[in-house]
């Protein structure tokens, strides 16, 4: 739904087809595994088969005897430092003295073919002294066994608001308590992790499937002992990331680079699906204890929360992920008294990291479930309850952040209700469920969220972005940014921003994939920050170029610079649109006049003030908001679930491309539905058992519901053309909304995600038994 103001723009706010669609449709896009180089070797990691143990001996001899093996590397062969931790230096590139999870690499093989590398990996012998593993957050919290010598606490974030939380609960009309648990979620990107490393110019060049090329550059530099200037990272086309290709690719790139650097040959390392599922990071499982107090008037008066998050064997990005949990655990609501403890814990399980919405879908599920319980118990309207407690301009969040601008939360609640036809559907569903002859039960669920934009107070030092724009003499334009296109449509949105700012046609724009040798460190492609960060960096460069182009146009048209307007490939007289000079001709004129049309751009996110000790202050500079309504149907006899429809209302500021925004929402819904009711990663005694798509089940197109997207455009003053982010928010409300719908249909609030058919069947069977007993009595 577009505003009238968007008609001022020629490209921004319009449905523009993806600029990278054609090459993907015809198979021209080159992914990392499409690359081949002369004398290229193939790498294979050798991984631990136990979750915890001391390494007594590693024997390479059998593997080295195999014909075609070029090398077997262990920790002793690393030329730089044996560390790979992105935030905390607690993780080795190759395990040396101990293994801390089943799947931890302790050696890497290079061979002439994939098949030989695979065989050689099986010939590397290791002798362990097995140790008792720590496999639950409760066991980890007790610290009877320590995963690391320093202890088991990765991080502990506190939020304290109000004078006395116990007094606040004492004054509450009613108090509700419940504990929720939530499992892993696997990223399951279409393209598995992979890279190719080439020794070049006494340094190393790495091609790969990355979200964060600059993380990779730093990791390779550290592992090889090379200066950053000797490490060049080139981005290939990426087949999906969702956070799984943020820090994790640094591990594989550093291993491949080590082999290539020492053996002086190109080395390709591509994970197969089973190994990717076994060793790659996951969404954090959590145990979440919630206590909520409400007043007679339906206001949330007090909130006490303790979250125990399974970080796995190493920190990876847990400190960043769980900081976001600490800001979002109370939802987008005004709550005067808050006590929150978000605790990350080491276990002897696979390390967990970033995943779309990182750290928020779990706590949103818990908080929104509590609201569902409260509304059902007190007979309150779920929309009106949320509106009564909602953040708005002038109100303060659980961290006492007073909202000053761009807050369309209440409008998303109203739009979600209207567009979903909730009131009509509720009456229909109640009537349907009252009919005992029906084979199914139907339910509606609601969830509202907010999402802090960019990296916030905890990651502000990463929150910058660079860009480079070059206009050629024929009017074609080359863009390069430091953030990555990984399927989300970033190239198209950024092309629209650049096209609008430069006044050229979008067809004139060409993208160069991220190259650390061209643009400065632009931080990670995460946190829904690409549109804002790279968009603003492009505007910085484009505005410099536009001044030159306007001056040249004014000279050609014999008018003043302030009389020049640029749009869709023409610079024209604002008083007479028939008097113009084409963008192409202007570029040619600047070339002949020796006017340089190449500029760098740079942008830094607004700085915020936040006290980590109390969890009070401004954790993020602005927020996106959303409300989702789900319609579900349950088979009474089998417990099978189906999400039939979702209505999602999002406030993301200015919508740069409505078509791509709707596509983002649809993708987020698909992942959220999978997380809520299908995706169940099974781990037994520290070993992941679901190592294929036959056992780790994700939604197919037939499982995905009808999705209706509506947008609220409360512009952000710091976003390009007023834009905010959507990538994360598109998923965040889905899990809670779906689970609330299932819970309302079944008449039971489900306390664990995923809500599988077996559990639904158990609940319905127990209810039926209770009803039968009542009838007998």
Express each pLDDT in 524-574 by its tens digit.
Answer: 999 999 999 999 999 999 999 999 999 999 999 999 999 999 999 999 999
pLDDT (mean) for 613-627: 98
Is there a domain that residue 195 lies in?
Answer: yes
pLDDT at 776 over 80: no
475/421 same-domain check: no
Q: Examine the domain organization and report whether 579 and 625 are in the same domain.
A: no
**523, pLDDT greater than 50:** yes
> Does one domain contain both 544 and 527?
yes
> What is the pLDDT confidence band of residue 772, given thresholds at 50, 70 and 90?
low
Residues near 769 by beta carbon (within 8 Å), at least 6 away in sequence: none
Do 649 and 590 share a domain, yes or no?
Answer: no
List of residues 6+ apart from 553 with CB closer than 8 A: 564, 566, 571, 581, 586
Is 496 inside any structural domain?
yes
> Cα–chain-centroid distance for residue 484?
13
Report the domain count for the chain.
3
Pairwise CA distance, residues 74 & 212, whole Å: 26
Q: According to DSSP H, which parts of 681-752 are helical?
A: 734-746
pLDDT at res. 769: 83
452 and 477 in a single domain? The answer is: no
- Rounded average pLDDT over 341-355: 98
**Is residue 430 one of the residues assigned to a domain?**
yes
The whole-number average pLDDT for the span 247-252 is 97
CA distances from 761 to 85, 123, 258, 410, 769 (A): 43, 47, 52, 36, 12
CATH number at residue 521: 3.30.365.10
Last residue of a domain, one of 604, 630, 650: 604
Looking at the fold, whether 559 and 643 belong to one and the same domain comes out as no
pLDDT of residue 72: 98
Residue 414 pLDDT > 50, yes or no? yes
Q: At residue 614, does pLDDT exceed 80?
A: yes
Query: 451 and 568: one domain?
Result: no
Q: Which of 579, 604, 629 is the last residue of a domain?
A: 604
* pLDDT tens, residue by residue, 738-760: 999 999 999 999 999 999 999 99
Which of the two residues, 95 and 577, has the higher pLDDT score? Answer: 95
Whether the predicted pLDDT of 493 surpasses 80: yes
pLDDT of residue 3: 42
- Residue 775 counted as domain residue: no
Asked if residue 655 has pLDDT above 80, the reply is yes
Residue by residue, DSSP assigns 70-117 as EEEE-GGG-SS-S---SSSS---SS-SSEE-STT-EEEEEEESSHHHH
Q: Is the same domain home to 656 and 669?
A: yes
User: Is the same domain home to 449 and 468?
Assistant: no
Specify whether the CB–CB gap between 460 and 619 falls below 8 A: no
Q: Are residues 599 and 617 in the same domain?
A: no
Residue 141 lies in a domain: no
C-alpha distance from residue 277 to each of 108, 114, 534 (Å): 18, 19, 31
Residue 775 is predicted with a pLDDT of 53
pLDDT at 482: 96
Residue 151: inside a domain? no
The pLDDT of 91-116, averaged and rounded, is 98
Q: Is the pLDDT of residue 342 over 60?
A: yes
Cβ atoms of 402 and 641 closer than 8 Å = no
For tokens 């109370």, the residue is 330
Q: What is the pLDDT of residues 6-39, one digit of tens each?
A: 458 999 999 999 999 999 999 999 999 999 999 9
Per the CB < 8 A criterion, the answer to whether 688 and 682 are in contact is yes
Question: What pLDDT digit, counting tens, does each position of 265-303 carry?
Answer: 999 999 999 999 999 999 999 999 999 999 999 999 999
Percent residues over pLDDT 90 in the chain: 97
Rounded to whole angstroms, how far apart are CA atoms 263 and 275? 25
- For the cut 80, the answer to whether the pLDDT of residue 347 exceeds it is yes
What residue numbers bound the domain in which 324 lies? 286-456+612-769
Q: So what's the pLDDT on residue 535?
A: 98
Question: Do 443 and 352 belong together in one domain?
Answer: yes
Token reading at 559: 């008018």
Span 363-376, mean pLDDT?
98
Question: 120-160 pLDDT, tens per residue?
Answer: 999 999 999 999 999 999 999 999 999 999 999 999 999 99
Residue 162 domain flag: no
- Over range 384-392, report the average pLDDT: 98
Distance from C-alpha of 612 to C-alpha of 28, rounded to nearest angstrom: 48
Asked whether residue 2 carries a pLDDT value surpassing 70, the answer given is no
Exposed e or buried b per residue across 178-214, where buried means at least 16 C-beta atoms within 10 angstroms of its C-beta: eebebbbbbbbbebbbbbbbbbeeebbbbbbbbbbbb
Give residue 770's pLDDT: 76
pLDDT confidence of 436, banded at 50, 70, 90? Answer: very high
Q: Is residue 653, in this structure, part of any structural domain at all? A: yes
Residue identified by tokens 């990779």 is: 216
- DSSP H or E run through 382: helix 382-389
Cβ count within 10 A of residue 384: 13
pLDDT above 80: residue 774: no
- Whether residue 116 sits in one domain with residue 48: yes
Alpha helices in 435-529 (DSSP H): 456-459, 490-502
- Identify any residues that bridge with 181 across adjacent strands, giving them in sequence order: 287, 752
> So what's the pLDDT on residue 7?
56
Mean predicted confidence (pLDDT) in 48-69: 98
In the listed set 238, 261, 279, which residue is the last one of a domain according to the structure?
A: 279
């Amino acid at each position: 739904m577009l505003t009238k103001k968007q008609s001022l723009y020629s490209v921004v706010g319009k449905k523009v087809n993806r600029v990278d669609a054609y090459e993907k449709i015809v198979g021209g896009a080159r992914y990392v595994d499409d690359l081949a180089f002369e004398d290229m070797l193939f790498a294979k990691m050798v991984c631990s088969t136990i979750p915890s143990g001391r390494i007594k001996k590693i024997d390479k001899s059998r593997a080295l005897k195999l014909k075609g093996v070029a090398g077997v590397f262990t920790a002793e062969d690393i030329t730089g430092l044996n560390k790979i931790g992105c935030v905390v230096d607690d993780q080795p590139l190759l395990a040396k003295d101990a293994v801390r999870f089943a799947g931890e690499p302790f050696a890497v093989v290079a061979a002439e073919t994939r098949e030989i590398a695979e065989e050689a990996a099986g010939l590397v012998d290791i002798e362990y002294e097995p140790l008792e593993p720590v496999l639950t957050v409760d066991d980890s919290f007790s610290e009877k066994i320590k995963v690391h010598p320093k202890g088991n606490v990765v991080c502990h974030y506190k939020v304290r608001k109000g004078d006395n939380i116990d007094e606040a609960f004492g004054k509450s009309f009613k108090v509700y308590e419940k504990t929720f648990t939530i499992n892993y979620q696997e990223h399951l990107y279409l393209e598995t992790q992979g890279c190719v490393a080439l020794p070049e110019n006494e340094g190393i060049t790495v091609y790969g499937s990355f979200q964060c090329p600059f993380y990779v550059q730093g990791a390779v530099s550290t592992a090889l002992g090379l200066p950053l200037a000797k490490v060049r990272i080139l981005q290939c086309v990426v087949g999906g990331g969702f956070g799984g290709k943020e820090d994790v690719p640094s591990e594989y790139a550093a291993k491949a680079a080590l082999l290539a650097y020492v053996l002086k040959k190109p080395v390709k390392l591509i994970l197969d699906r089973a190994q990717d599922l076994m060793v790659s990071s996951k969404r954090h499982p959590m145990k979440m204890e919630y206590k909520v107090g409400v007043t007679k008037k339906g206001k949330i008066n007090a909130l006490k929360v303790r979250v125990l998050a399974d970080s796995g064997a190493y920190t990876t990005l847990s400190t960043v992920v769980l900081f976001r949990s600490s800001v979002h655990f109370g939802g987008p609501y005004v709550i005067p008294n808050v006590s929150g403890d978000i605790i990350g814990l080491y276990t002897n399980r696979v390390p967990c990291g970033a995943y779309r919405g990182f750290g928020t879908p779990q706590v949103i599920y818990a908080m929104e479930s509590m609201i569902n319980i409260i509304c059902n118990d007190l007979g309150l309207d779920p929309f009106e309850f949320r509106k009564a407690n909602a953040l708005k301009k002038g109100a303060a969040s659980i961290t006492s952040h007073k909202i000053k601008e761009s807050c369309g939360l209440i409008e998303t609640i109203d739009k979600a209700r209207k567009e979903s036809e909730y009131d009509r559907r509720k009456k229909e569903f109640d009537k349907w469920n009252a009919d005992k002859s029906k084979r199914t039960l139907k339910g509606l669920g609601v969830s509202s969220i907010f999402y802090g934009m960019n990296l916030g107070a905890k990651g502000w030092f990463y929150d910058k972005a660079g860009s480079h724009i070059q206009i050629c003499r024929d009017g074609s334009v080359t863009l390069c940014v430091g953030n990555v296109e990984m399927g989300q449509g970033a190239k198209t949105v950024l092309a629209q921003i650049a096209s609008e700012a430069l006044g050229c046609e979008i067809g004139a724009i060409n993208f160069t994939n991220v190259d650390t040798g061209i643009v400065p460190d632009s931080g990670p492609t995460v946190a829904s920050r690409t549109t804002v960060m790279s968009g603003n960096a492009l505007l910085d460069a484009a505005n410099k170029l536009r001044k030159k182009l306007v001056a040249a146009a004014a000279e050609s048209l014999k008018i003043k610079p302030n009389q020049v307007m640029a749009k869709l490939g023409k610079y024209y007289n604002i008083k007479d649109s028939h008097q113009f000079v084409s963008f192409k001709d202007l570029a040619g004129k600047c070339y002949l006049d020796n006017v340089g049309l190449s500029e760098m751009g740079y942008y830094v996110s607004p700085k915020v003030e936040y006290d980590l000790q109390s969890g009070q202050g401004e954790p993020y500079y602005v927020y996106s908001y959303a409300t989702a309504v789900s319609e579900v149907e349950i088979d009474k006899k089998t417990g099978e679930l189906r999400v039939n429809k979702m209505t999602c209302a999002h406030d993301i500021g200015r919508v740069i491309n409505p078509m791509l925004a709707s596509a983002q929402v649809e993708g987020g819904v698909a992942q959220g539905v999978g997380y809520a009711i299908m995706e169940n990663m099974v781990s037994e005694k520290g070993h992941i058992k679901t190592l294929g798509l036959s056992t780790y089940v994700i939604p197919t197109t037939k499982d995905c519901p009808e999705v209706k997207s509506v947008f609220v455009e409360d512009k952000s003053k710091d976003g390009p053309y007023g834009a905010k982010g959507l990538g994360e928010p598109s998923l965040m409300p889905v899990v809670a909304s779906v689970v609330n719908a299932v819970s309302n249909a079944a008449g039971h609030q489900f306390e664990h995600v995923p809500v599988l058919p077996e559990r639904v069947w158990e609940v319905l069977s127990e209810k039926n038994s209770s009803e039968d007993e009542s009838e007998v009595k």
